[in-house]
Structure 1
Amino acid sequence: MVTPWQGRRVFLTGHTGFKGGWLALWLAAKGAHVRGYALDPPSEPNLFHLASVADVLEDVRGDIRDYPKLEASLTGFAPEVVFHLAAQSLVRRSYADPLGTYDTNVMGTANLLEAVRKSASVRAIVCVTTDKCYENLETGQSYRESDPLGGHDPYSSSKACAEIVVAAYRDSYFPLDRIGGHHVAIATARAGNVIGGGDWSEDRLIPDLIRGFGSGKPVLIRNPKAIRPWQHVLEPLHGYIMLAEQLLAARTEAASAFNFGPREAEEWQVERIATKFAAMWGEGASWSDDSSESVHEAHTLRLDSQKARTVLGWQPRLNLETTFEWTLDWYRRWNNGANMALGTQAQIATYEGLDH
């Protein structure tokens, strides 16, 4: 079947990471010609190798802080669409390496947009930030795109800074009132906590549970009362793809910030997720509260995604029960030695076939 992505040239930063790997496979399945630009995979094992992501794209290894290499890779490829997912994406690591976090997330974003400015081919850019870019006052409210940006920790504030950088480049070099001349549309995407097969990142709930369940001991969990907007990784990626399609159509309403989060019923406490996941895993899996002193992390994060529903027609397709089933199925297949390139692609195809 011919798709809007057939033969389209896409430059994807962060393709060796968890979300980037899933997105690369999905775009390739749609017929896109993808060049990925990223550091080596961040963990071992990793989705990039297990799902054979290198087989579906041009694999370029580079640091987004290396402007000359990044510009050469982007302009030499002449993409029409850019997805920017490369980042230092861990809150706790940002406390240990704040300068590296700001350098990657702020200057890395500026480097990418400057490279785009030197390119004559790019028409649409989706820069992915985070739900943590808002000034979180812990009121329990669901944050909207118009709410103030902020961030208590280096990671969160670096992503708020990245949002400001994107807005400045849009206003300075790609203003919406002159899009008929420059033909470039830029948007940012703020997604909630993602769950799915192939994630082995440090200090993330599901990878921590998967690693811990095999030890036969209770898994230590931080902040069990914290509330997060949980969703399967394919949910926000679907939003990113829809957003890029609207940008390609030069729809000015799309050239802005968008939240991609679950329905309110899917905003669970960490302890509820851990308990449910342990029960579905079986084999005596359990968890306990890690009461050791830790760095500050937000207690409650909620997203209002009404704008994505109204402007893009995006809707979440999976409830948390199905999200857990798909995630556990992925890891069990991997544990049994299955071909995870086929397994990952099968979940993408199943998701695409769901009723809208």
Structure 2
Amino acid sequence: MEKALITGFTGQVGSQMADFLLENTDYEILALMRWQESMDNIYHLTDRINKKDRISIFYGDLNDYSSLQKLFKTHKPDFVFHLAAQSFPKTSFDIPIETLQTNIIGTANLLENIRILKQSEDYDPVVHVCSSSEVYGRAKTGIKLNEETPFHGASPYSISKIGTDYLGRFYAEAYGIRTFITRMGTHSGPRRSDVFFESTVAKQIALIESGYQEPVIKVGNLSSVRTFQDCRDAIRAYYLLSLESQKGKIPKGEAFNIAGEEAFELPEIIEILLEFSDMGGGIKVEIDKARLRPIDADYQMFDNTKIKSFIDWKPQIPVRQMLKDLLNHWRNEIKRGRIPLNR
């Protein structure tokens, strides 16, 4: 039975990657997490984890080379979905060193372990390196971003993902590791962290509905225009790319944009979310200066032509449904007594 390693297992993408693989494959899943991480996104899997029903946890850290060494020498996964990162652009301005350390050096630690095992034991997994559309930074208005668009770091996070992106290609070109790199555009849906725009808006609406917040939504920059897609659509693309890579149909080190095909100005996203609430008409929106970034990637439109030439894929979940599912996620969290921070 083939094994798949998921780094960043407890995050939105990692936990939903596990859900997808459990439902659509017979892989054994190895889930990498730090021992102190939140369990919020994976409580629904704990019974299977306890029973070792196709999924088990390995406690480690991207910044602890020895823990990764033990993981790879012991388990040798056939697929590696490298999703772990310090993934919050706004936060990266406050913790730039940790962001760079985790995303660049952490990725190098992972790829170095694979390189050494490849040389000594002919170990040859398929490795998905998750970059980000943030590598393109401040794009020119009216330009559709394709995989040849020059990088332009607009935050410590985007700079860290530029490093991650280059590492994925380098280890393919220099050592023949079967990597592919994805640059996912704005993605959301259930389990999206509340530090991201559409999720903090949905969370605040749910808090207001439940009486935990005054009827005012606090937001940052609203001048951004971008595409949105459901995370579950992106995960399907990750899986399909991994299969084509295993078959040798994707050149090693190839990079792919994966983005939604519905574009919105950010005020439109707020309007849609408010439509789903009976209190929508009585809720105000205010700019909170504390939520503004020093520099912002305020225009991101993508060209999905390349990925569609390699796999049969396109986004299937409409953005309105994605946003409704996100709002219901926060409503359900509050009903369970998990009151999120007002941030």
Measured at CA, do residues 271 and 197 of structure 1 come closer, stay the same or move farther in structure 2, by a change above 3 Å? same
Tell me the CA shift for residue 216 of structure 1: 3.8
3-state SS of the aligned residue for 2:239? Answer: helix
* 1:272 paired to 2:268: yes
Shift of 1:202: 4.2
Letter in 1 for 2:269: I
Change (3 A) 1:123 1:224: same
Quote the offset at 1:75 in angstroms.
2.5
Q: Which amino acid aligns with 2:56?
A: E
For the residues of structure 2 that align with 1:100 and 1:86, how far apart are their CA atoms? 13
Match of 1:342 in 2: none
Q: Corresponding residue for 1:352?
A: none
- What's the CA shift for 1:333? 4.7
Judge conservation of contact 2:136–2:151 (CA < 8 Å) in 1: yes
Q: Distance in 2 between matches of 1:260 and 1:335?
A: 32
Asked if the contact 2:216/2:286 (under 8 Å) is kept, the reply is: no
**Residue 64 of structure 2 corresponds to which residue in structure 1?**
66
- Matched residues, percent identical? 22
Provide the residue aligned with 2:96 in structure 1: 98
Matched, 1:35 2:34: no
Query: C-alpha distance in 1, partners of 2:154/2:174?
Result: 28
Contact persistence 1:191–1:236 (CA under 8 A): yes
Find the aligned partners of 1:74 and 1:286 in 2 and give their Cα distance. 51
Q: Deviations over 1:64-119 (max 9, x none)?
A: 01111112112211111100000000111111111111100101111111111133
Deviation at 1:267, TM superposition (A): 1.4
Q: Does the 8 A contact of 2:229 with 2:260 survive in 1?
A: yes
Deviation at 1:168, TM superposition (A): 1.2
User: Does 1:204 pair with 2:190?
Assistant: no
Mean Cα deviation higher: 250-259 or 14-23: 250-259
Provide TM-score, normalisation by structure 2.
Answer: 0.86
Q: Quick check: 1:149 aligned with 2:148?
A: no
Normalised TM-score (structure 1) = 0.83
Corresponding residue of 2:279: 283
One-letter amino acid matched to 2:161? K
Q: Which runs of 4+ in 1 moved over 6 A?
A: none
**Superposition pairs of residues 138-287 of structure 1, within 5 angstroms:** 138-174=140-176, 184-199=177-192, 201-213=193-205, 214=207, 215-253=213-251, 255-263=253-261, 266-284=262-280, 286-287=283-284
Given the superposition, is the C-alpha separation of residues 98 and 218 from structure 1 closer, same or farther in structure 2, using an over 3 Å criterion?
A: same
- Say if 2:258 and 2:304, in contact at 8 Å, map to a contact too: yes
- Measured after TM superposition, the shift of residue 329 of structure 1 is 4.0
Deviates further, 157-166 or 47-56: 47-56
Report the CA distance shift for 1:193/1:40 in structure 2 as closer, same or farther (over 3 A).
farther
* CA positional deviation for 1:287: 4.4
Q: Is the 8 A contact 1:24 1:53 kept in 2?
A: no
Superposed CA deviations along residues 16-69 of structure 1, whole A, max 9, x for unmatched, are 1111000011112222101011225765x7212255486352112221011111
- Which consecutive residues of structure 1, in runs of 5 or more, have no partner in the other structure? 1-6, 175-183, 339-356
User: CA contact under 8 A between 1:191 and 1:261: conserved in structure 2?
Assistant: yes
Give the letter for the 1:280 counterpart: F
Q: Which amino acid aligns with 1:270?
A: L
**Could you say what secondary structure the match of 2:173 adopts?**
helix
Aligned partners of 1:70, 1:260: CA distance in 2, in Å? 28
Question: Counterpart of 1:24?
Answer: 18
SS at match of 1:302: strand
Contact persistence 2:169–2:253 (CA under 8 A):
no
**2:341 aligned residue:** none
| Paired letter, 1:157 | I
Match of 2:139 in 1: 137
Letter in 1 for 2:128: V
Q: State the 1:236 CA deviation.
A: 0.8
Distance in 1 (alpha carbons) for counterparts of 2:90 and 2:32:
25
Cα distance in 2 for residues equivalent to 1:47 and 1:53: 14
Distance 1:262 1:211, change over 3 A: closer
Q: Which residue of 2 aligns with 1:350?
A: none
Rounded to whole Å, the distance in 2 between the matches of 1:208 and 1:193 is: 14
Shift of 1:253: 3.9
Report the Cα offset of residue 233 of structure 1: 0.9
What number of residue pairs does the alignment pair up? 319
2:309 aligned residue = 310
For 2:204 and 2:227, the matched residues in 1 are separated by 23
What secondary structure, in the 3-state scheme, does the structure 1 residue paired with 2:315 have? Answer: coil
